[in-house]
Structure formats: C-alpha cells, structure tokens
Structure 1
Amino acid sequence: MIRGWEHERSGNVKEQRELKEQTRISANLRENEKYLRTRLENCSDILIRPMRLGENHKVDCLMVYIEVAVSNMILDDSAIGKMINHFWEISPDQIQDFVQNNSLGIADVKKLADLDEAVEAMLTGDAVFFIDGYDKAMKISGKGYPSMGVMEAESEKVLRGSREGFSDSVKSNSALVRKRLRDTRLKVEEYKIGVRSHTLTQVLYMDDLVYEELLEKVKERLEEFEIDGILNSGMLEQLTEDVWYSPFPQYQTTERPDRAVQEILNGKVVILCDNSPEALILPGNFNSFMESSEDWYHRFEMASFLRMLRYLAIIMATVLPGLYLAVIRFHTQILPGTLILSFAEAREGVPFSSVVELIFLELAFELIREAGVRVPGSLGNAIGIVGGLVIGQAAVEANLVSPIVVMIVALTALGSMTVPNEEFAAAFRLVKYVFLILGGYLGIYGIVLGVYLVVGHLAGLVSFGVPYLVPFIKKERKSGREEGIWRVPLRMRKLRPLYAREEQKIRLTRKGSGS
C-alpha cells in the first residue's frame, strides 16, 4: 500500500513537472502570444499590445496588462517606458544584451520563466513584457488596482492618537505598519489564498518576539484549506479559528495601524488580507477586546477608570434585561415596596407579558440599529436617534410597553456600544436574549445558570494555544505580565505580556541601569 502511494505521488510530481514544461516561456514570441490570447480570450479589460522595436523595427515585443491597473501614461513616464523608447534606437543584439544584464536595475522589474506566473503577475495589477528571442518575461510594477487610499478609522474612534486607518490595499496597510516599526526584525510573509481569487495575504510579526510554535500554527492554518476565493478577512477568520461555532470572536480585529503595531510589539501575529481594511490580531483574548488603542495615550488613572466602566457596561448589556424580568416575575421581595408599586403602575394597561414586552422592544431597537448602519451618511445617525425616540414614545403612549422597559432597553444598548470592538459586542447582544429567556422563566436561578454556562464556555475557548480568559485564569507561560482591568503606569510596564518570548520579556529599562 505504501509503495502504491509512493508510486502515485511520484506520478503526480512527474505530471506537474510536464505541465510546468508546457507553460515555460519560449524564446519564440509567437508561441507565447498564442498561449496568452487563448488563455485571455473574451477578457476585454486585458490588453495585449504587440510592438516592434530596435533599428528598422526588427525586434517583436509584447506588452500584456490590465487597462485600468497600468495606464498608457504610466508606461510613457516610467523607467520601463524610457527603456522601451531607448530600444527604438539600438540594434537587436544590443536589446538582448541590455535585457539580460540591466533590466533588473532600471525599475521594479522581476524576470519570470513560466507563462502561468506571467499571467498571475499581470492579474495582480502589473505589466508583463515579452521580447522575441528571449525565454523570459519581465514583470513591471504598475500603479495597481484602484483603491480608496488611507482613510480615518470609522469603527475605532479616538480622542487622542493617530487618525490613520487601514485601506483596502494590503501593500498600503503593511506600509503603514512599517512606517511605525522601522526595524528589519519586522517580517512580512506573503501567501496567496483562493484557487480563483489568489487573494494576497500577509503575515506580520516581530522575528525575535514571536513564539515559533504560534507562528507555525498560523502558517499551517492558512495552508490547510482550499477555497474559490477570499474576499475579506472575515472569511479568513471563520475558516481558521479554533471553535467555529462560538459567537465570541477568537481573532481581534482593528482598523488602526497603531493598534496592530502595539500588538506586534507584544509578541502577537497580525494578518493583513487584500481588499479588507481590517487587520486580524492573534491570539485573541477577552481582555484585549475590552481595551482601546488610546488607553496607552491617556494617563493610567483615567484609562483604568474607563476600562472598569466598560466591564460594568458589558455586564449590564448582557444581564440587565434578564435580571429585570427575574425580579418583577419571581423575586419582587428584594425590591422596596414603593419601587414595586411604581413598576406595577407603569405596567398597568400593557396587554403583553413582561417577557414578550421586553423582547418586542429589544428587537425594535435592533431594527433601528441595523437601519442606521445601512442608511448612508449622516442620515443613518438621524434615523437611529429619531427612530428610537419616536418608537419608544409611541409605544409607551399606546400602552404597548411600559416606560421602565424603554429605560432598560436604552441602558442595554448604551452598554453594548461602549465596547471598543463591534464584533465582540455583537456576541453579547446575542447572549443577552439567552439571559432574557432564562431570567423570565427561571428567575435568579436562570441568571446564575446563564452566567455559569457563559463563563464555562469562555474558559474553554483557546486561541492558538492561549486561554481566552487570560489573565483572569492560570496561564502556562510564566514569563511576562498580562494586564487585567487595571492599567499599569507606563513607567512601571517593564515586562512584555506572555505572548512574547522568555528571553525578550524586558520591555522597558532605564538607561544606565540594569532594571
């Protein structure tokens, strides 16, 4: 059986080698052109431009490029354009000699020996240049596909810090990271994922900080699946995360280059995906989702206070509706009598049960939130504010809901909005309905059961070998110090978190001292 497998494997290698030989670039330009025109048939956006260069126009050449990605003006004004103009005046022998010896020094040019590689290079937005009598093609970098450029981060607003955000171009995004980390120990490895899309994906890490086990596991995850195309980093995240059925994200996402750099310096790995303005940071953990990038730009007292506020807000956004139902339906004795009478008076005339009433209003606010996101521009904000006020007020006046329920739902919505990461907040918005049902039908016992299930699930989550609830649970790695709710003063933050290697655990030292 093993011999049969080895024979089959050797046969596949031989077949691949034969296919490679068939697509090798020929010194005969006509053969290359025939292959390209067959391969690119009915691709009207791809231009195949034949030309004749040299003295008396004796040398046949071919330029292949995507019309929008490489304009004629770029070809005229670039170094390769000047080289082509130079070819008009020299002999064919001089052209061959110049291309073989000098082509790589005049511009961002790479020699290719395979026609499939040439087509792939052209599809990335570059131009490919063929010369008759020369068995290689030259890939010439162009301006690339149209993109929106560097923009302000929309989902992670800050009062202090950089306003730059990632764009749709993966090359621009890695350049924004390199702008902040000007160190050759910052490594950028490229992968092309997607059998048809060939989406460029980059893995960024600090060579002397990252654990090799983590890096190898990330590379294995990226190479273990085949798919037609990756259109966004969100698809990549879903395919490579440990527990795919969990509502809690195991990758941290960010639109901010400074946040990505901060995590790279902690020893984490950052993944950039072409056509996606978000970076994936891994491993992810509960505490990192509750941090904002500007926490390190403010004084530690205020940053610690804001972190505590976020933790209280996420608890309120998750438990408050279910706790309200548990109290008014099963445990009214724990509230003062005047408050109970106030609740009863507010609910007078409401035709629905308290559970249906609360679910109805929660879903109404979810509709308002979704409408505000989908409606373009400032009109979306207006719809969110006006819709909430109008629907809430109209529902109270029509005796469909009580005023206290409107207040509960509003506090819940505000609590979820304080979480810096929208994907993480969305998980708690879903869990909220579980607590609502448990509290409404089981009382306080249901709330305790819900807390037990959620904490148990979070404690069992692992992101690339790191427990999700670090630093609130015991960790295997002894080096480093991972912060919790309290933000340590910057001058006392001497150790890197546990993600960085043991030998690089020292982050901050005072000059002239050993500590």
Structure 2
Amino acid sequence: MKRSYSRLHKKSPKKEAKPQPSSTHLRPVLERNITYIKDELGNSADLKIRRIQFNFIEPTDACLVFIESLIDTALLQELIDSLINHKQISPNKTDDTKRNIITDLIQKTITVGDVEEVIDFDTLISNLLSGQAVVLIENEQHAISVNVPGNEKRSVEEPQSTTVIKGPHDGFTETISTNISLVRQRIRSPKFRLESKNIGKVTKTKVMVAYIEGIVNDGVVKEVHRRLDAIDIDGIIESGYIEELIQDETFTPFPTIFSTERPDAVAGKLLEGRVAIFVDGTPFVMVVPSLIVEFFQASEDYYQRADVATLLRCLRFLCFFIALLAPSVYIAVLTFHQEMLPTPLLISIAAQRDGIPFPAFLEALIMEVAFEILREAGVRMPRAVGQAMSIVGALVLGQAAVQAGIVSNAMVIVVSITAIANFCLPAINLAASVRMIRFGIMSLAAVFGLPGIMFAIILLCIHLSSLRSFGVPYTTPAAPFILKDQKDVFFRVPIWAMITRPKLISQKNIKRTRHHKKGGS
C-alpha cells in the first residue's frame, strides 16, 4: 500500500522556548553573543573561543568561535594570522568605512575557505556544527562564517559490495563532497545540477539531490523534493533511513530504490534521466526511479563486448530462479511427483534418504537455516577469519550432517547450489529478498507440490506488476512491454545500437546517440 506522508510525518509539538534575546539576530555586544552561544551548546568541552584584536581605524576586539573536533587546525591558524595582520585603513577614509568592517574583512583579509556573512544565531550554530569557524566583532550585529572543516576522511577505495574485473575500481566514501566529486569527474556538463537540504532535527544531515537538466523528468525531481521535505525525524544516520521514508511501497520484499557504491553506476543512471540522492555519512548513493531489471545489471556489462555481457546477464537470471526455486522443486518432486524422476536417479536418492528421520521439507529447512547462520557469522566475524570460517564451517557441518544421518547428500548439493547461485546476483538487497521469499515457496511446495510453486510464482508476478518506483512501473519494460527498451534487459545490444534512453524514465531528449554502422562508418 502507498505510504501516506501527511500522516506519517506529522510535525511534533513545539517545545517551550528557552530564555533568549527578543530576536534571534546577533547583538552588538560581543560578550552577550558569546554567552548565548555557550548556553546553546551547553558550554561543550570542545567549544573553543579565541579572543583576538586587530586594527580597523582603531584597535577592535573580536573573537573566533569554533568546535575543536570539527575544524582543521592549520587552516584555523592561517585564518587567525590573516585577522591579526589586518592592515589599518588610512585615516582619510570616510566614516562610512567604519560600518563596512565585515565587507572589508571578507573582501580583503580572509583568504581561507568559503566565507559568508551571518546575521542570526540559528545559522551561526548550524555553521559551527558543520565545521566552520565564526568571527564575532564588538559593536557589530553581523558575523563572518569561514569554512575550515578538518574531520577525518576515508580515502577512495574499491567498493566492497560490487567488485569488477574490468572497469573503474574507485568507490564512494562517507564524505558527501568526495562522492559528488567522483561523479563530477565523469559528468563534466554545465547541465549537471545539485540541490542541497538538511534533514533531521537533531543530526541536520546534509542531503544532495543530483540530476542532469534537459534529460531528467521534471516531475520526478519535484516528487523527490516533496518526499524529502515531508520527512520529519530526529536524525538520519545512513541512507537506509531515507530509503524507507521515501519509497513508494512499504510492505514488499523487493527493493524499489537502487543503492550503489559505484560512481560510474550513478553517472550512467544520471545519463538515463534518473535522480541521484547523496547522503552525508554513507558510501551508498540512492538512484530513483528504479526497475527490477536494474538489479540484474552490473557495471561490468558495459565495459566488455555485448555478447559476453549478454551471456553473463542470462546467467544471472538463471541463478535468480535457481536461488528462488531449487529447494522448493526438490521438495515438491520428492514429496508428490516422484514419477518425474528417472528410475535410476529416484533409486539413488531413495537409497541416500534411507534412515533420514525427517521429511524433505524439514530436511531442507534445517540446511537452509544452518547456511543462513554460517553466512551471517561470516559477515560479522573479523574479515581475516570470516571467509575461512564460512567455508570450513559449511564443509564440516555438511559432512557431519550426512554422516550423522540427519540430511542426505542430495539435499546438501541442492542447498549448496542454491547458496552459490544467490551470490551471483550483483545487488545484495535483491539477494536478501530472494532468501526471504525462498522459505515461503518451500512451505507451499511441501503442502501443494508443484501447483503450490506455480501459485507462488503467479503471486510474485502480480505483486511485482503492482509496484511503482516514483510513479514508474517496477517491471518496465516487460510490463508494460516497450519494444524499443528491450535492448538492455535480458540481453545487451552493442553500445552503438543504444540510440534512445528508457521511454518511461526520460520523456525528453530521448536520443542519446545517432546510429553508427558497424566499424564506426
């Protein structure tokens, strides 16, 4: 069902205002401004106030306010030196210059970082908590905010969730400015647009909406802003918070928002007319609208020949159905449809199951749960031993279970192939969805056999057809069927044949290349 944003994101009742000046604007008395800032921040231990004096017609008292844990000390010292060494204006200047001390400092003195003029406490506090230093001056109701961020940043590394053999090996980090630069390096267009907003009443998390003007559907951009503006929450720690709050459907196992660590993948989606959502503090960038077929596509598909990419993509679709249906088909055939198996194979499986105390469904359930435990343990354990523990644990557990007569050899093979096929899916969130759905289909197969599996597939098709991602049908271009968009679904045509962008994603500037004959002529 569709999420009702008007009900989910109600404004919280206003708290009683604490004693403060009659206006949130800065006061002309330096000490009053300092006292107000200390009270607002609870006189925090890392709140530092550096008093200085510089010459402007006459000696002028000022102070530098900053959060020690958020700033770069080298840039801060450079800022202090520039203020202290400020040259006195010649006495023949008019008295009007006295009133332009802020402008003079911004234009002639401060050479560090981005500078802006601040007139109210709300903006001042927000800037302090964003890694900026604020210059307060006696007898001035304006302040100067200087950007000198110095928080620790992780270097650009290869993405952990989506690795490739051929293609770029750089991935997003937890710093939003770094992530945007990685995309800008790939899209050097003046039409590339970025729009910023802060979400979270407490965390004030920076969120950037990116798109390419002239290609994107303007209605999608407006809808993204509407859903982001409707969020009323204390804090945003990771992009998953926003993903749950803006997705079209709440109760579905399938991901309706595409998330990736790869800058090249985001750049490719933007060129198709999609909208990217960057969230500060996470290496994952969301892209909307998203389609089910995108979760079978890998960046590497576009860096090698079309025939190789088509083969690998077909292999992924096959692995999807193996991971989804293999245990269920095994349970259904052994429980209800033994006549479908060749006689020698049936006799071999029957001999293996001789002495097994559990029915096929319970046997498969035990093995699936055991593999899920091993997978989760491998993820949570230290990386140096996690992978080895998963492999050794699976071998030892499987062999011991067979020797103890709890499960059969055939069941171990089926569950192992299922687990391996699940890892072939390039999108980890789709792989997690398959793991959840698989247990439901196994239950239907144990009760109804193959008709139960067919019923589950029909339900899945109906559910997928009902999903939307920011107004776009989730199963596009299969349903609704769009012939021109089949060039990049189950197979990939050569790059020179991808003349148009997806029809329902971008309704303007459809053509992205002219038709090139083979050989480039």
CA deviations over 1:164-188 (Å, ceiling 9, x no partner): 1000011111111111111121101
**Offset of residue 197 of structure 1:** 0.6
Q: For residue 50 of structure 2, what is the aligned residue in structure 1?
A: 49
**Offset of residue 345 of structure 1:** 0.8
Q: For residue 222 of structure 1, what is the aligned residue in structure 2?
A: 228
Question: Aligned partners of 1:251, 1:267: CA distance in 2, in Å?
Answer: 15
The structure 1 residue matched to 2:102, chosen from 92, 99, 102, is 99
Give the direction of change, closer, same or farther, for the CA distance of 1:32–1:47 in structure 2 (3 Å limit). same
**Offset of residue 246 of structure 1:** 0.6
Q: For residue 389 of structure 1, what is the aligned residue in structure 2?
A: 395
Tell me, yes or no, if the aligned pair for 1:260 and 1:281 is still in contact at 8 Å: yes
CA deviations over 1:9-68 (Å, ceiling 9, x no partner): xxx9xx99x999611012221221121111122411222222222389932212121212
Question: Aligned partners of 2:286, 2:127: CA distance in 1, in Å?
Answer: 26
User: Does structure 1 residue 254 correspond to structure 2 residue 297?
Assistant: no
Question: Aligned partners of 1:20, 1:199: CA distance in 2, in Å?
Answer: 27
User: Does structure 1 residue 489 correspond to structure 2 residue 488?
Assistant: no
CA deviations over 1:398-431 (Å, ceiling 9, x no partner): 1111111111111111111111110111001100
Tell me, yes or no, if the aligned pair for 1:149 and 1:167 is still in contact at 8 Å: yes
Q: For residue 118 of structure 2, what is the aligned residue in structure 1?
A: 112
The structure 1 residue matched to 2:219, chosen from 213, 220, 224, is 213
Q: For residue 68 of structure 1, what is the aligned residue in structure 2?
A: 69
Give the direction of change, closer, same or farther, for the CA distance of 1:511–1:381 in structure 2 (3 Å limit). closer
SS in 1 for 2:140: coil
Percent identical residues? 33
The structure 1 residue matched to 2:147, chosen from 141, 151, 154, is 141
Question: Aligned partners of 2:36, 2:390: CA distance in 1, in Å?
Answer: 56
**Offset of residue 95 of structure 1:** 8.0
Give the direction of change, closer, same or farther, for the CA distance of 1:91–1:193 in structure 2 (3 Å limit). farther
Question: Aligned partners of 1:356, 1:377: CA distance in 2, in Å?
Answer: 32
Give the direction of change, closer, same or farther, for the CA distance of 1:482–1:111 in structure 2 (3 Å limit). farther
Question: Aligned partners of 2:66, 2:413: CA distance in 1, in Å?
Answer: 60
After superposition, residues 371-390 of structure 1 pair within 5 angstroms as: 371-390=377-396
Aligned AA (1:458): L
Question: Aligned partners of 1:246, 1:180: CA distance in 2, in Å?
Answer: 34
Question: Aligned partners of 1:240, 1:233: CA distance in 2, in Å?
Answer: 11
The structure 2 residue matched to 1:289, chosen from 289, 295, 308, is 295
Show structure 1 runs of 5+ residues with no match: 1-11
Question: Aligned partners of 1:56, 1:186: CA distance in 2, in Å?
Answer: 46
**Offset of residue 101 of structure 1:** 3.5
SS in 2 for 1:504: coil
Q: Provide TM-score, normalisation by structure 1.
A: 0.91
CA deviations over 1:250-270 (Å, ceiling 9, x no partner): 001100000000000000001
Tell me, yes or no, if the aligned pair for 2:136 and 2:143 is still in contact at 8 Å: yes
Q: For residue 315 of structure 1, what is the aligned residue in structure 2?
A: 321
Q: For residue 282 of structure 2, what is the aligned residue in structure 1?
A: 276
Give the direction of change, closer, same or farther, for the CA distance of 1:367–1:95 in structure 2 (3 Å limit). farther
Aligned AA (1:388): A
Moved more, 238-247 or 59-68: 59-68
Question: Aligned partners of 2:401, 2:183: CA distance in 1, in Å?
Answer: 50
Q: For residue 4 of structure 1, what is the aligned residue in structure 2?
A: none
Question: Aligned partners of 2:191, 2:505: CA distance in 1, in Å?
Answer: 14
Q: For residue 510 of structure 2, what is the aligned residue in structure 1?
A: 505
Question: Aligned partners of 2:418, 2:21: CA distance in 1, in Å?
Answer: 60
Tell me, yes or no, if the aligned pair for 1:54 and 1:91 is still in contact at 8 Å: no
Q: For residue 3 of structure 1, what is the aligned residue in structure 2?
A: none
Tell me, yes or no, if the aligned pair for 2:296 and 2:426 is still in contact at 8 Å: yes
Give the direction of change, closer, same or farther, for the CA distance of 1:303–1:455 in structure 2 (3 Å limit). same
After superposition, residues 295-334 of structure 1 pair within 5 angstroms as: 295-334=301-340
User: Does structure 1 residue 235 correspond to structure 2 residue 241?
Assistant: yes
Give the direction of change, closer, same or farther, for the CA distance of 1:272–1:337 in structure 2 (3 Å limit). same
Q: For residue 423 of structure 2, what is the aligned residue in structure 1?
A: 417
Question: Aligned partners of 1:382, 1:143: CA distance in 2, in Å?
Answer: 41
Give the paired residue count.
496
After superposition, residues 7-22 of structure 1 pair within 5 angstroms as: 22=23
Tell me, yes or no, if the aligned pair for 2:320 and 2:421 is still in contact at 8 Å: yes
Tell me, yes or no, if the aligned pair for 1:350 and 1:402 is still in contact at 8 Å: yes
Q: Which has the higher helix share?
A: 1
The structure 1 residue matched to 2:409, chosen from 399, 403, 409, is 403
Question: Aligned partners of 1:116, 1:183: CA distance in 2, in Å?
Answer: 35
Aligned AA (2:207): T
Tell me, yes or no, if the aligned pair for 2:53 and 2:84 is still in contact at 8 Å: no
Q: For residue 25 of structure 1, what is the aligned residue in structure 2?
A: 26
Aligned AA (2:340): I
SS in 2 for 1:58: strand
Q: CA RMSD in A?
A: 2.6
Question: Aligned partners of 1:142, 1:200: CA distance in 2, in Å?
Answer: 17
Aligned AA (1:99): I
Moved more, 145-154 or 293-302: 145-154
Tell me, yes or no, if the aligned pair for 1:480 and 1:502 is still in contact at 8 Å: no
Aligned AA (1:484): V
**Offset of residue 97 of structure 1:** 4.1
Aligned AA (1:375): M
Aligned AA (1:498): K
Question: Aligned partners of 1:235, 1:503: CA distance in 2, in Å?
Answer: 32
